Amino acid sequence: MTEATFDIRMQVMWNRLISVVEEQAMTLLRTAFSTSVREAGDLSAGVFDPEGRMLAQAVTGTPGHVNTMAEAVGHFMAAIPREKMYPGDTYVTNDPWLGTGHLHDITMVSPSFKGDTLVGFFACTAHVVDVGGRGFGADGKSVYEEGIQIPIMKFAERGEVNETLVAMLRANVREPSQVVGDFYSLAACNDVGHRRLIAMMEEIGLQTLDALGEFIFGRTRAATLVRLRDLPKGAWDNVLDTDGYDAPVRLAARVEIGETAVNVDFSGSAPVSPKGINVPIIYSKAYASYAIKCVVAPDIPNNWASLEAFTVSSPENILNAPRPAPVSVRHVIGHLVPDLVLGALARALPGRVPAEGAAALWNIHMSVRPVAGQSGRRAEILMFNSGGMGARPGLDGLSATAFPSGVMTMPIEATEQTGPIIVWRKELRPDSGGDGEFRGGLGQVIEIQPMEGHEFDFSAMFDRIRHPARGRAGGRDGAAGHAALDDGTRLRPKGWQHVPEGRRLVLHLPGGGGHGDPAKRPAAARMNDKSKGYVTETEE
């Protein structure tokens, strides 16, 4: 076999491997019980070699899930020795420090055997609607208050499900059918990936994935090093202030670019918070790596070899919170890490980095119940909402778009089906994008009301209320967000709060910052903004 023929053969097998993990992810999307997975795609799926190195990931999935999953498989291998792995096994955890950063994310790993030979692993993650405890929110004082903790253990051994674990789940969560259903969906996701992989290997005549892995990693690593060699060398700093829980929190990063690696150091960031906004380092690293990759190597496959070039260091602080710190709402601070890192990269690579955006999802977890003395339906409802992206060099920011998380919009029809609420309004928020040569993306206005005879408590997980997205290169800041009841009562950006019967929760989501001097924005672009209602006639 010539070198050219070998390369072609490997490329064909690489494409087949991508198809395998895409079908793996689609299985989870089609069978999941939770709307956050089924409708929003809050998940990840991937295939790994026998050493636990990620070969390929599905396109569907969030960086916070994919990049933490890439590291988590090694923790599973350390906890369950090879001699105790069998065909038909599935392993599980929601440990925030070994998985994806908080208890609501379930990570499952399954060994893939071809005969008696371990040829790899499949892994997947998904956010479930409830894990007990205080519920999805920032009010806990330690991880012990935030829900049931599942250490790395077997969900199934040789195909037999651990019924004791299932019984424990049912006794500790508010939506047992949804949660247990999602566990089975995760297990099925890995099983489909395994069956498709073995079928592929038998068709092609592969006994192991060793040669394919060497091909994938070798070319990915070489391509990444080429990109790194083209970057300026040195260190650049950035700070970013966030709303925090009840007082501002400062994040700090130094990005150091070397010949073969880029390191992000979070020294100088705020100390560990007493509330559940802390971030385990595995999650901070996931989003720091994603930010670098977006600028340096967006077109290079995301796998072990490309991620190896991006490292993170930090003392203990809010971005490297140790056990047992509360971490339930780690995504809010974690989603701001890309803007923090990109701000440093903008100093190294002027003209290549977008302005800051809304960044953190405006998640709402609603616990709906009948008003006292009335009958009705109870429900736990999770809703994902996105503000505007920052303007890009050469392009306006995207409106109501989830960056950096990448989750999809949850249809109102699907959300309303999960419980007794009405979403009266969900529309773009005029004038929320920062002005500039390129305008920031718009946020949204959303109004939610409990149905007649019902009320709900909700967990606010909002940011950019006191610290809006900053413009870049002369662009103006995006509009800050705010949350209130329809009678004008202002609400806190984080924590559990109450919406009584007859009142509406009104959310104004933040917009993205502008990029470039506003005086340089073309007249045609301004006319288009006004004709479409993105900017009102009264705006100066």
- In order, the DSSP letters of 339-362 are HHHHHHHHHHSTTSSPPP---S--
Q: What is the CA radius of gyration of the chain?
A: 23
174-207, pLDDT tens digit by residue? 999 999 999 999 999 999 999 999 999 999 899 9
- In order, the DSSP letters of 48-83 are E-TTS-EEEE-SSS-HHHHHHHHHHHHHHHHHS-GG
Averaged over 54-76, what is the pLDDT? 94
Residue with tokens 């005029």: 430
394 within 8 A of 381, measured Cβ to Cβ:
no
Tell me how long the chain is: 540
CA distance 539 to 443: 16
CA distance 183 to 76: 17
Range 79-85 contact pairs with CB under 8 angstroms and sequence separation of 24 or more: 79/151, 79/152, 80/152, 80/154, 82/118, 85/111, 85/118
- As a whole number, the mean pLDDT across the chain is 95
Comparing CA positions, the residue from 278, 291, 283 lying closest to residue 236 is 291
70-81, pLDDT tens digit by residue? 999 999 999 999
Residue with tokens 């977006």: 294
Measured CA to CA in angstroms, residue 337 lies from 46, 57, 212, 299 at distances of 24, 22, 34, 21
| Predicted pLDDT of residue 408 | 85
539 pLDDT higher than 70? no
Bridge partners of 429?
A: none
| Conformational region of residue 289, where left means phi above 0, alpha means psi within -120 to 50, and beta covers everything else | alpha
293 within 8 A of 306, measured Cβ to Cβ:
yes
251 within 8 A of 340, measured Cβ to Cβ:
yes
For residue 427, what are its two tokens? Answer: 């529309």
CA distance 345 to 251: 15
CA atoms within 13 A on the CB side of 521: 24
| Predicted pLDDT of residue 538 | 55
Give the list of residues 6+ apart from residue 57 with CB closer than 8 angstroms, or none.
21, 44, 45, 46, 66, 69, 70, 302, 303
Going by their DSSP bridges, the two strands 363-370 and 454-461 should be labelled as antiparallel
pLDDT band at 4 (very low <50, low <70, confident <90, very high): confident
| Predicted pLDDT of residue 39 | 85
* Bond from prior residue into 404 cis (ω within 30 degrees of 0): yes
494-521, pLDDT tens digit by residue? 999 999 999 999 999 999 999 999 999 9
Q: CB burial class (10 A; 0-12, 13-18, 19+) of residue 230?
A: exposed
354-392, pLDDT tens digit by residue? 999 999 999 999 999 999 988 899 999 999 999 999 999
- In order, the DSSP letters of 491-525 are --SEEEEEE-TT--EEEEPPPPPPBS-GGGS-HHH
pLDDT, greater one: 454 or 38: 454
CA distance 170 to 183: 12
259 pLDDT higher than 90? yes
329 pLDDT higher than 90? yes
404-433, pLDDT tens digit by residue? 999 988 889 989 999 999 999 999 999 999
Averaged over 95-103, what is the pLDDT? 97
Measured CA to CA in angstroms, residue 342 lies from 247, 349, 471, 480 at distances of 24, 10, 13, 20
| Predicted pLDDT of residue 540 | 44
Mapped onto helix, strand or coil, the DSSP state of residue 140 is: coil
Domain layout of the chain by residue ranges:
3-208, 231-349, 354-540
Residue 234: CB atoms within 10 A of its CB come to: 11
Residue with tokens 């689609």: 26
CA distance 256 to 276: 30
Mapped onto helix, strand or coil, the DSSP state of residue 47 is: strand
- Amino acid 456 reads F
| Predicted pLDDT of residue 410 | 85
CA distance 493 to 471: 22
Give the list of residues 6+ apart from residue 396 with CB closer than 8 angstroms, or none.
433, 438, 439, 440, 441, 525
Comparing CA positions, the residue from 237, 235, 236 lying closest to residue 258 is 235
Mapped onto helix, strand or coil, the DSSP state of residue 154 is: strand
Question: Whole-model pTM above 0.85?
Answer: yes
260-318, pLDDT tens digit by residue? 999 999 999 999 999 999 999 999 999 999 999 999 999 999 999 999 999 999 999 99
524-535, pLDDT tens digit by residue? 999 999 999 999
For residue 196, what are its two tokens? Answer: 């498709």
